[in-house]
Amino acid sequence: MIRHLLLLLTPILIIAKVHYAKVEPYENIILKSAVSAQVTDVKLNLEGTTVEDDIIIQLDSQLNEIELASHQNSLQLIDNMIATNQSILKALQESRSRQEEYYYNISTLNSIPKSRKDTAFYNYISTKTQYLSTQEKIESLNKQQNDIHYNIERLQDQISKKTILVHNKFLYKLLVNRGDFVNMGTPLAQLKDLSRAKLVLFLEEKELKNIHDKKIYIDGKKTNYKISKQWRVADEKFISSFRAEIIIKNPKNRFSKLLKVEFR
């Protein structure tokens, strides 16, 4: 009698515990503004769709673009001034070399009057001073050039951050409207990555033993999936359970549905 009872109980004992997990997006994303500006356009028609490659929100960048154009014009002027002064420097370098050579050639000759030697010396010093002054001017222009390059890159970065472009994400909800003023850090939109999905399970401690050696069955079908993440600390809500995630392929239209998960 006892033997028969044990035989009847054995299948019950080896049956894996069944879990039900909701199919969730692989990632939930909150887009936040990286700059402060007014919202000039919002693509409300894209809400609730998968956005392949499109602008969903445009922030005002008019003043940035005007300032950018001004800096680009200034940069062109600075570039021209540097080129001109480099040509002047080259000419002064040649003149300085000749003046220096001439002065030193006559400075030791007793037959040359002192006044002529003094004139040669002053001409040499004057040319050398002009050369050094032009060299200093070029260095100052180079600094201005670097500052303008920095401002151009800064403005281009600000302008790029005012165009909110989305690539292959599901636009769940837009959080701003046209005319709103947003600050840095203001939430703009909720996105979901539906390229893959995940199943979130809460497992008992005893289930975790050798769990990576077990096969995962979904809706009764054997799969090659493995646990992608496993928490080592008990969940705050389900105190006696440990959170685990399984990343699965895009389930097409099965998001939010419950799937039966077993470890055997």
According to DSSP, residue 211 is labeled G
pLDDT of residue 240: 83
pLDDT mean over 12-39: 85
CB of 26 closer than 8 Å to CB of 198? yes
Q: Which has more confidence, 167 or 103?
A: 167
pLDDT in tens, 83-139: 999 999 999 999 999 988 988 888 888 888 999 988 999 999 999 999 999 999 999
pLDDT of residue 13: 39
Element (H, E) at 254: none
Non-local (6+) Cβ contacts of 247 within 8 A are 26, 196, 197, 198, 225, 228
pLDDT of residue 14: 43
pLDDT at residue 194 is higher than 60: yes
pLDDT at residue 12 is higher than 60: no
The pair of three-digit structure tokens given for residue 168, joined into one six-digit string:
């292959």
Q: What is the mean pLDDT of the chain?
A: 90
SS3 label, residue 251? coil
pLDDT mean over 147-158: 97
